[in-house]
């Protein structure tokens, strides 16, 4: 059943170092990277592995380094915007024109404490207005919008609908099927919250509810931790989630899935209409009814799409003996086909509240390595780091390894700080540029998580937030 999971730890570390581990691990419950295996115009001989060189490195600003929190990079045409917390902990936005090395900066009236949940995110609407939201973990809505397109000095704080905006967490901007701007967030606390959707009226410049009800209703006993909505290569919006009953991350359960064409009308993977709000009792949405303390954590599930556009969900849970295993699930004939990919003999026990560090296991989404072959990577506290290689049709493990391709250029992999315990943080561009074969990344260094609690001095010095422009070339060894 396994694909080389029992090889030596050193061998596994070399495998993971050589792969594109595209699932970026920040904090449980955040949206992480999603890889699409089949774009509508993709060619079958264009593989997912790429070698890259650094074309440009640009300093943005000195930023806080005492704990990790996710920043945001957004490229739209020839405009690039970065949102971050500066060394004084103030939410800050920097903007430039591509090709320029000069940043325009604007400090916003919002200061972060020690909470790694309080990431910042952005969007640019049809009229070029910038929208910014962040620094929230069960607090009143924090949202800014420019009054003049392209000018971040005109960012002004606003409410949205004014309703259910007193306990906000996990803000996310996205575009619907018509390209209209949508904003979603959780209202309420961990184990007791609902998922709200708003729609922006760009002509009248105000927000209204997209849905008459929350998308998810925890019924006062739980809340959903969704990954998505993600618009797949089939044009559908896909959402994967787990339910969670308390602030203890061990109380996650019931991996589930739903899809929609328009973010208003929803259905199961098999076309069954779904009544809103979604509740845990709707069994037609269950992918895997994992029980509480069953070994899944919010943010631990990953989503990708196969060559046939079907979603593939990768995740971890405990088996019947209590040992941790990796699984992949895909819709088949009126049910989800769940494939166990490992056969390990070690449990991974986790629990607690607040922003969690490494709980003992991580898995990535699958990516296409070559036609008919998928791969994913993992990190395990006992078995080290490695890759799983699978047949794309059956999802059965294959007994082979893949060519070594660095995830990042070597120049980006060394820790620059001399403060002990520092690590590299990276975020990918949530926008896009017109430059073929180019991707942009932000990188900086911080100390590790501390369950959202303050640390006593001494603390690491601020680190430099850097923008990298990477140029890729196909690698088909």
252-282 in b/e burial notation, b at 16+ Cβ within 10 A? Answer: bbbbbbbbbeebeebbbbeeeebebbbebee
The DSSP letter of residue 365 is: P
Residues belonging to the chain: 477
Side-chain-facing half-sphere of 428: CA atoms under 13 Å? 18
Using one digit for the tens of pLDDT, what is the confidence trace for 401-459? 887 677 889 999 999 999 999 999 999 999 988 888 999 999 999 999 888 999 999 99
Give the pair of three-digit tokens for residue 20: 């594109």
Degrees to nearest 5, angle at CA 343 with 341 and 348: 100
d(CA 459, CA 197): 39
| pLDDT the model gives residue 64 | 96
| pLDDT the model gives residue 191 | 82
Given a contact cutoff of 8 angstroms between Cβ atoms, the answer to whether 363 and 376 are in contact is yes
Q: Name the stretches of the chain with pLDDT < 70.
A: 1-50, 404, 474-477
d(CA 282, CA 294): 20
| pLDDT the model gives residue 475 | 53
Residue 205 phi, psi (nearest 5): 60, 50
CATH C-level class of 9-474: mainly beta
d(CA 235, CA 308): 13
357-360 contacts, C-beta under 8 A, 24 or more apart: 357/448, 357/449, 358/25, 359/249, 359/297, 360/324
d(CA 28, CA 225): 9
Of 331, 227, 219, 334, nearest in space to 278 by CA: 219
d(CA 181, CA 394): 38
| Residue whose pair of structure tokens reads 């315990």 in the numeric block | 421
341-353 in b/e burial notation, b at 16+ Cβ within 10 A? Answer: bbebeeebebeee
Write out the E strands in 89-142: 90-97, 104-111, 120-124, 130-134, 137-139
d(CA 252, CA 293): 7
Of 338, 353, 118, nearest in space to 251 by CA: 353
Residue 27 phi, psi (nearest 5): -140, 150
Neighbours of 114 (CB within 10 A): 19
409-444 in b/e burial notation, b at 16+ Cβ within 10 A? Answer: eeebeeeebebeebebbbbebbbebeeeebbbbbbb
**What is the three-class DSSP state of 59?**
strand
408: CB partners within 8 A, 6+ apart:
52, 441, 470
d(CA 447, CA 296): 26
Confidence (pTM): 0.85
| pLDDT the model gives residue 36 | 33
């Amino acid at each position: 059943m396994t694909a080389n999971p029992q090889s030596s730890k050193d061998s596994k570390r070399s495998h993971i170092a050589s792969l594109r581990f595209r699932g970026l691990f920040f904090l449980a419950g955040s949206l992480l990277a999603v890889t699409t295996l089949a774009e509508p115009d993709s060619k079958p001989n264009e593989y997912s592995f790429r070698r890259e060189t650094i074309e440009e490195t640009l300093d943005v600003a000195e930023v806080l380094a005492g704990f990790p929190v996710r920043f945001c990079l957004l490229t739209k045409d020839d405009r690039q915007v970065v949102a971050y917390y500066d060394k004084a902990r103030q939410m800050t936005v920097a903007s430039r024109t591509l090709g320029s090395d000069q940043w325009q900066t604007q400090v916003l009236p919002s200061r972060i404490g020690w909470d790694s949940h309080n990431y910042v995110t952005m969007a640019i609407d049809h009229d070029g207005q910038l929208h910014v939201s962040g620094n929230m973990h069960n607090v009143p809505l924090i949202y800014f919008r420019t009054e003049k397109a392209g000018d971040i000095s005109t960012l002004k704080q606003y409410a949205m609908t004014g309703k259910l905006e007193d306990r906000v967490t996990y803000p996310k901007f996205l575009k619907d099927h018509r390209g209209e701007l949508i904003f979603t967030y959780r209202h309420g606390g961990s184990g007791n919250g609902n998922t709200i959707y708003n729609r922006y009226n760009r002509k009248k410049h105000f927000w209204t509810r997209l849905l008459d009800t929350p998308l998810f209703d925890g019924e006062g006993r739980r809340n959903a931790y969704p990954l998505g909505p993600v618009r797949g290569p089939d044009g559908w919006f896909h959402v994967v989630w787990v339910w969670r009953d308390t602030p203890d991350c061990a109380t996650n359960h019931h991996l589930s899935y739903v899809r929609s064409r328009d973010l208003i009308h929803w259905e199961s993977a098999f076309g069954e209409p779904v009544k809103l709000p979604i509740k845990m009792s709707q069994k037609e949405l269950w992918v895997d009814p994992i029980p509480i303390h069953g070994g899944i954590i919010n943010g631990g599930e990953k989503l990708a799409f196969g060559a046939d556009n079907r979603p593939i969900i990768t995740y971890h849970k405990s088996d019947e003996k209590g040992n941790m295993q990796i699984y992949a699930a895909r819709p088949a004939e009126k049910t989800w086909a769940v494939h166990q990919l490992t056969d390990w003999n070690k449990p991974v026990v986790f629990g607690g509240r607040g922003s969690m560090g490494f709980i003992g296991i991580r898995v990535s989404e699958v990516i296409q390595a070559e036609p008919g072959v998928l791969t994913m990577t993992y990190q395990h506290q006992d078995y080290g780091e490695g890759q799983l290689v699978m047949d794309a049709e059956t999802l059965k493990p294959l007994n082979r390894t893949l060519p070594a391709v660095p995830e990042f250029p070597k120049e980006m992999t060394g820790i620059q700080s001399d403060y002990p315990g520092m690590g590299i943080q990276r975020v990918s561009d949530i926008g896009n540029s017109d430059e073929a074969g180019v991707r942009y990344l932000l990188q900086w260094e911080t100390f590790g998580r501390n369950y959202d609690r303050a640390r006593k001095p001494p603390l690491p010095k601020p680190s430099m937030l850097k923008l990298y422009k990477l140029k890729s070339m196909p690698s088909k060894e």
